[in-house]
Homo-oligomer: A and B are copies of this chain.
Amino acid sequence: MSKKIRIGIVGYGNLGRGVETAVKKTPDIELVAVFTRRDPAAVKTNDPNVRVFHVDDAVKYTDKIDVMILCGGSSSDLPKQGPEFLKLFNTVDSFDTHAKIPEYFETMDAVAKSSKKIGIISVGWDPGLFSMNRMLTEAILPDGVGYTFWGKGVSQGHSDAIRRVEGVKNGVQYTIPKEEALEKVRAGLWPELSNRDKHLRECFVVAEEGADKEKIENEIKSMPNYFSDYETVVHFISEEELKKNHSAMPHGGRVIHTAVTGEGNKQIVEFSIKLDSNPEFTSSILVAYARAAYTMYNEGHIGAKTVFDVPLSYLSYKPAAQLRKELL
């Protein structure tokens, strides 16, 4: 490897930290710097040698960074940061507000075409690897139905919602796929299933001293959008127990496509993940797509791209002939 791919990280939360550790597992990528909106001196990186700068200084690094990995959130960070950074850098991000992906793509595509950069958007596992499996299986087996299940895993959004309830000190919510729904899908019965039919919500809640637990439980279970339409289970536990048993960020899920070919032959394809660390997994995917962005850019590709547009070989540091020999 003559020259390493130089990446930068924008935003140093769970995802940014995951990118920092994922880069260390690659032979061909180096982390140049982390960019933050906070005071750079206050950001402690895992590796103390990593340099930290303010995002406003990123413009000085356009010739020192090949790909910027944007690790902000989808609700407020990426809609602003995505176009800003794509004006100056090739970017990879994990924009995951499914309903707004088409609009985000158009915005990013226009910026990239004007700046002559490449921006791979919505990289991760959903959107990301799960999307790839949904798309691939539908294309191969058009006479079929696809199902996506999430969990068991922690949903940050639902955990936040619990913590906003009066009398709640702390809380974590797990999204859990329902076994009976999974069984119907795997049996090829093509059931009609809403997200609420497929998942139940299990909450571990730390109540403040003297709080009315029954009231808290009712308030959680009747919360619109988040819980009211779901089968919801609430457990009250101590702060110690929460810290001990529920501070990891596991997740998982599966995409199942059940289809028919010929004279009624059932064909089932299933892709599943089981993760000890959701952010570290997503970060590892971001790093592989940063490699792809770099290669595609050097081949003259510009514009916004998604996981549907990137040939798989671009994700590996290995030459194509080696991939064919070892893995095909």
Contacts and interface: CB of A to CB of B under 8 A. Distances in A.
Nearest to A317: B139
A324 B133 CA distance: 13
Contact of A132 (B105, B312, B317): B312
Contacts of A122: 328
Given A131-B328, A307-B328, A308-B320, A276 B266 contact: yes
Given A261-B21, A261-B22, A281-B267, A308 B328 contact: yes
Nearest to A277: B265
Interface stretch (A77-85, A140-148, A206-214, A215-223): A140-148
Nearest to A284: B140
A313 B324 contact: no
A313 B58 CA distance: 33
Interface in A85-105: 98, 101-102, 105
A280 interface: yes
Given A25-B142, A262-B280, A284-B261, A136 B312 contact: yes
A13 B313 CA distance: 32
B101 A328 contact: yes
B327 A285 contact: no
B308 A312 contact: yes
A43 interface: no
A159 interface: no
A84 to B, nearest CB: 22
Contacts of A323: 135, 308
Given A280-B262, A280-B265, A324 B311 contact: no
A59 interface: no
Contacts of A316: 135, 138-139
A126 to B, nearest CB: 9
Contacts of A317: 139
A271 interface: yes
Interface in A268-300: 268-277, 280-281, 283-285, 288, 291
- The 4 A-B residue pairs with the shortest CB-CB distance, nearest first, are A265-B276, A265-B277, A139-B315, A308-B313
